[in-house]
Structure 1
Amino acid sequence: MTSPVPSRPARRAAARRGRAVLPWGGPDPQAARRAAVRSALAPLLAAHRAAFPAGDPRELCRAYDVAERMHRGQLRKSGAPYVTHPLAVAMILAGLGMDTTTLVAALLHDTVEDTPYTLGEVRADFGEEVAVLVDGVTKLDGERWGERREAETFRKIVLAAAADLRVLVIKLADRLHNLRTLDHVPEHKRRRYATASLELLVPFAERLGIHALKREMDDLAFAHRDPAAHAATAAAMRQALLGADAVFGPALRLLRGSLAEHRLDAEVSVRPRHLYAVHQDYAGDVAGLRPCQAARVLIVVDGGEQDCYVALGAVHAALHPCPGRVRDYIALPKFNLYQALHTRVISPDGDPLDVIIQSRAMRPVAEHGIVAHIRAAGADTAGTVAGRRDLVWLSRLLAWQSDATSAAFLDGLRIDLAGGNIAVFTPAGDVVALPHGATALDFAYALGTETGAHSIGALINGRLAPLSAELRSGYVVEILTDPEGSPTPDWLQVATTAPARVHIQSWLSGRQTEEAAALGRHRLARLLADHDLDLLTAEAHGTSLSIARDLGFTEIDDMYAAIATGSLPLDALLPRFISP
């Protein structure tokens, strides 16, 4: 007995309820599948629609459908279906307001690495732009790269970011979700993963100015790397913030009154600090943490940059300022284009309070960094780092990475990303960002490889100083050079930045190779002379190069260097010159 054919309104109603049927009464697998995809994607589609009201959800649905099919049967360590991970990564990015292409790539970001789905299929199904993003975040094959896999994967990500910064943003969202779900991983692996996150990924979030991700990544990695210290800091913060109203209340009233007197419309609030920052600032000694150490005052001004300076005057009129504690990041933004005025004042009760002043236009950049710029100007701005003042650090990283071995690259990357930065000036007024502890030699290499290689000294604030002199923010530095100058081995004890160290090591290695080649050539020439043969004649006729190529050397000097090191015995080489 056949079932009656449902009416069209009945079929539509069933589809809305997720129970699509065919005209003859049977279930419609494709319609049911589409309904299931829509249901799973509902939160993502809603978040994306909030940032892109006119966005087309069909590409997201297609991408999720592929990801779900490809990852079907794969489970996370928690036991959850694997597709929940790329979906969560896409949700994080949607919360940042990233574009459709980025979300599609996020949904597919593990397919090439963990499923039979190939990069060629990504390109054919979703286009070149998505393929570039997916390829950028795909780890290299462990069997092929072995111990070099981690270093070369990071090198690949950095190179991909030069083409499209969204690669780094996806990688950060991927790491954040992995940190959120790290409880299901064995403890020793958690600690290692958390440490790598703090050393490599969190600094990338800082460099890109994406503090909305950085703060959570900081605290999650801190919790997994040092659970006891994290718990102690969290407890100290909770206790300190219980007294926040009593400490901050009188100060906020005075600040609001002074801002009103200066005819400024501004929002004044208390902003708790994140745990890892507190732990770092007080070196883990958080016993007796005070409210003024656990939070800061944030003033968001309705107006432009000039109004921020007026607000600074209003703050200092209301509360006594601490000398030397004003930091102007509006006139001189941080390397990630963060802008604000920072000051420290004394509360009515005598507590030192840190105050941050920003305009409303500065807030998106303060929270989302490069993402705010990508959102404001469209995805095309993700293309290249060239000329971006906020990405000079990435341009420098790209400049030295090609000369570094895998181990040197990873170590250099950790050093280059570690800690804060100082702003040092050239005599022309250009700003050079360097890590804390950088020397005049590091500054010289930051200006260029040739400047660094030929540097012989420096003028710091007009006074002669050695290349080993440590620099401070605000210093004006001029590098003195000599065309005959060159690196020496002791420079490796002076240089602290990765670009300087890599270039110095490269130069020294090249010099050693030249010296070895000269020594090997001398030995070979002497041996040939004993047999009435002339090496110059053999070189002029191409005999030396031919023999070198036959032995697998690209250049003659490589063969000569092998003679010097003993890896190519002269006795084995002589017959080739006697009977070429």
Structure 2
Amino acid sequence: MTTLNPANGKVPGPPGAALPDGPLPVAPRRRRPLAPVLYRLIAPGARARAADPVPSALAPLLAAHRAACPHPDEAALLRGYRVAEELHRGQLRKSGAPYITHPLAVATILAGLGLDTTTLVAALLHDTVEDTPYTLGQVRADFGDEIAVLVDGVTKLDGERWGDRAEAETFRKIVLSAAADLRVLVIKLADRLHNLRTLGFQPPHKRARIAKASHELLVPFAERLGVHVLKREMDDLAFAAGDPGAHAATGRAVRAAMRGAPAAFGPAVTRLRGALAEHRVRADVSVRVSHLYAVHKATGGDLAGLRPCQVARLLVVVDGAERDCYVALGAVHAALHPISGRVADYIALPKDNLYRSLHTRVISPDGDPLEVIVRSRAMHPVAEYGIVAHIRDAAHRTGGEGTGAVAGRRDLEWLGRLLAWQSDAPSERFLENLRTDLAEGDVAALSPAGQIVTLPAGATVLDFAYALGPATGDRSIGALVNGRPAALSAEVRGGNVVEVLTDPGSVPSADWLDFAVTAPARVHIGQALARRGAEEAAEAGRRLLVRALARRELDLLAAEAHGDSLAVARDLGYLEVDEMYAALTAGTLDLADLLARFAGA
């Protein structure tokens, strides 16, 4: 069980929490030396002193953890809180509240999701390495490797050291850390959720920037993990911060539309319940209102005459196995006229984020199109909490011992895709590629051998080719889509069978970047073009040097054979002779200086 409030769909935070992003020290920030009291808190015997009075500020977190976790280690949680509170003492939020209220709120959000004690302790400590004298080595020594990995994963890189690359490299670090333990991403999401909840203390320009970054990067990560309970609230909070006028207008329009919900949904629900009973399927049928940002995107901001069926849908949660979901789908279609071609089967073919349900569009009794979702009761927690549900179940089964193994799973296709291209992407392009890769809308297509390839909406045959591997992409010349010839620029649709045609002599073309959508395709095309450009520049520089040396009756080929060219290149600071030749083409190396060096070699 979790403590999710079903009335508003929000994960609970501390009562009255309204605190902003970022610590604000009383004086210009200085890293204080560790206080003697901290050494007592982290000393080996500190674990045994769990009988000390529990601070009142910690009570809501402990209560949420006890309610959701069958094996809480309250002593570890108390120790983590005391260390974090001591380390952050003297740091303030922009509201003037003590900074410890932020990590405490993040941990409470995670406790509401039902996460294990290890994750909550890491959440309490997640800003200590970044904002206090506490080091990662000390975290590891005091709390163990598992917590140190989580804290390290969410710690931002030093802006002074990394400069303009800090944000991109921080997100690259998060991706790599998530490969080791997905709880890193879950903590980061809870951290951003609390910062969005408390954005009111930030100036307008910063609110807009944080809202934009949240929609482009953090919300998509929540979607990829399937943690929709976080995604929905983050979506709406970022919407409110980024476009408060549209947010307010959407809220008014949804409330007005839902006043007609009983008349719009009542007859459909009555028919559906009757059909389910006839098909001998036990299920709960409920009306689910879409969150505001989803309505805003679906309507394009055109809120005139918004109807109940545009802002809500029916959810059928079946008591039974997978096959009962298909029986229930038949009952839906028997009760309400189905719209042809509008059934999506995410049970047989789950989404990247582990989501499994059946979606269908039908005509309601009053003639409006209506979406109906069917899933089993076992599928429902995963549909709401995604990977968190799996982590939570592992903790419940093993007393917490199996949590790390589930959180370290690397079989998620989207994560494998990120890991495959991230190391090849330069810092200046990494965030752009990450935004593209995380963009909403997945399309599942098939190879002739039956391999499922998941691509973002709008992806092309070329993207499909690169998804099969860089070598296939580089040599692709076209495709057969459902048996018919198609260009590399053709858009791939869900369910398409795509056979990529290749030529061993084919190489990537610069115009491919005009229609390549996915990050793997764009990264590999960019690398191929850069390699070819470097080769052409090196060849042009070499030809220039050959002609100049020939006029002095010197032979470059002989100099290369004897190693003189490499010696000159190394003397000039180049690792390879081709780099030296390319520099000559670019004009960054003076030809006269180079000739003098060869003459003296």
Q: Say yes or no: TM over 0.5.
A: yes
Contact 1:47–1:91 under 8 Å retained in 2: yes
Residues 385 and 395 of structure 1 are in contact (CA less than 8 Å); yes or no, is this contact kept in structure 2?
no
What is the match of residue 115 of structure 2?
98
Residue of structure 1 in register with 2:420 after alignment = 399
Size of the aligned set, in residue pairs, is 549
**2:358 alignment partner in structure 1:** 341
Out of 109, 123, 127, the position equivalent to 1:110 is: 127
Provide the rounded CA distance (Å) in 2 between the counterparts of 1:85 and 1:200: 21
Query: How is 1:144-159 mapped onto 2 (pairs within 5 angstroms)?
Result: 144-159=161-176
Instruction: Give the alignment partner of residue 100 of structure 2, picking from 83, 93, 116.
Output: 83
Q: Distance in 2 between matches of 1:462 and 1:396?
A: 27
| Partner Cα distance (1:372, 1:33) in 2 | 29
- Tell me if the contact between 1:166 and 1:382 (Cα under 8 Å) persists in the aligned partners: no
| Structure 1 contact 296–354 (Cα < 8 Å) conserved | yes
Residues 32 and 155 (structure 1), Cα distance of their counterparts in 2 relative to 1, 3 Å cut: closer
**Shift in Å at residue 291 of structure 1?**
1.3
CA distance in 1, matches of 2:311, 2:407: 39
1:380 corresponds in structure 2 to: 404
What's the CA shift string for 1:207-255, capped at 9, x where partnerless? 1111010000000000000000000110111111122112212221221
1:321 correspondence with 2:345: no
C-alpha distance in 2, partners of 1:32/1:239? Answer: 56
Q: 2:445 matched to which residue of 1? A: 424
Distance 1:48 1:550, change over 3 A: same
Q: SS of 1:117's equivalent? A: coil
1:439 aligns with 2:439: no
Which residue pairs with 2:370 in the alignment?
353
**Helix, strand or coil at the partner of 1:410:** helix
Q: Secondary structure at the match of 2:379?
A: helix
Q: Higher relative CO (CA 8 A, sep ≥ 6), structure 1 or 2?
A: 2
More displaced stretch, 38-47 vs 230-239 = 38-47
1:53-92 alignment runs, 5 A limit: 53-92=70-109
Q: Distance in 2 between matches of 1:491 and 1:346?
A: 42
Residues 1:196 and 2:213 are matched in the alignment: yes
For residues 562 and 350 of structure 1, the distance between their equivalents in structure 2, rounded to whole angstroms, comes to 70
- Say if 1:398 and 1:31 are closer, same or farther in 2 by CA, change over 3 A: closer
Between 1:501-510 and 1:244-253, the stretch displaced more is 244-253
Query: What's the CA shift for 1:440?
Result: 0.4
**How big is the alpha-carbon RMSD for the aligned residues of Structure 1 and Structure 2?**
1.8
Q: How does 1:456-467 map to 2 (within 5 A)?
A: 456-467=477-488
Shift of 1:348: 2.4
1:343 shift after superposition: 1.4
| Offset of residue 37 of structure 1 | 4.4
Counterpart secondary structure, 2:499: strand
Mapped pair 1:176 → 2:193: yes
1:265 corresponds to which of 260, 282, 301: 282
2:184 corresponds to which residue? 167
Q: Where does residue 573 of structure 2 map in the other structure?
A: 552
Q: Which has the higher mean CA deviation after the structures are superposed, 562-571 or 372-381?
A: 372-381
Partner of residue 291, structure 1: 308
Structure 1's 311 and 253: CA in aligned 2 closer, same or farther, altered over 3 A?
same
Corresponding letter in the other structure for 1:299: V
Question: Gapped runs of 5+ residues in structure 1?
Answer: 1-29
Letter in 2 for 1:450: A
Residue 292 to residue 533, structure 1, CA distance change in 2 (3 Å): same
Aligned twin of 1:530: 551
For residues 539 and 410 of structure 1, what CA distance do their matches in structure 2 show?
A: 42
Structure 2 portions without partners, runs of 5+:
1-46, 395-401
Aligned to 2:10: none
* Farther-moved stretch of structure 1 (564-573 vs 523-532): 523-532
Q: Given the superposition, is the C-alpha separation of residues 517 and 37 from structure 1 closer, same or farther in structure 2, using an over 3 Å criterion?
A: farther
DSSP-derived class of the 2:365 partner? coil
Relative to structure 1, is the Cα distance of residues 110 and 36 closer, same or farther in structure 2, using a 3 angstrom cutoff?
A: farther
Quote the offset at 1:457 in angstroms.
0.8
Output the TM-score relative to the length of structure 2. Answer: 0.89
- Are the equivalent residues in 2 in contact too, given 1:385–1:394 (CA < 8 A)? no
Gap change, CA 1:33 and 1:366, over 3 Å in 2: closer
Distance 1:56 1:206, change over 3 A: same
Instruction: Provide Cα deviations, 1:283-312, integer angstroms capped at 9, x if missing partner.
Output: 011122111112111110000110001111
468, 474, 477: which one aligns with 2:489: 468
Alignment partner of 2:350: what SS? coil
Residues 264, 301 of structure 1: 8 Å contact kept: yes
Does 2:520 align with 1:499?
yes
Do the aligned partners of 2:509 and 2:529 also contact (CA within 8 Å) in 1? yes
User: Distance between the aligned counterparts of 1:549 and 1:399, measured in 2?
Assistant: 33
Q: Is the 8 A contact 1:37 1:65 kept in 2?
A: no
TM-score by length of 1: 0.92
Are 2:426 and 1:409 aligned? no
Q: Secondary structure at the match of 1:361?
A: coil
Counterpart in 1 of 2:472?
451
Query: Following TM superposition, by how much is the alpha carbon of 1:579 offset from its aligned partner in structure 2, in angstroms?
Result: 2.0
CA shift, 1:145, in A, is 1.6
Checking the alignment, whether the CA contact within 8 Å between 2:84 and 2:125 is kept in structure 1 is yes
- Determine which of 137, 141, 154 is the counterpart of 2:154: 137
Shift of 1:530: 2.3
How far is 1:529 from its partner?
A: 2.4
Question: 2:92 is paired with a residue of what secondary structure?
Answer: coil
Change over 3 Å in CA distance of 1:49–1:223 after alignment to 2: same
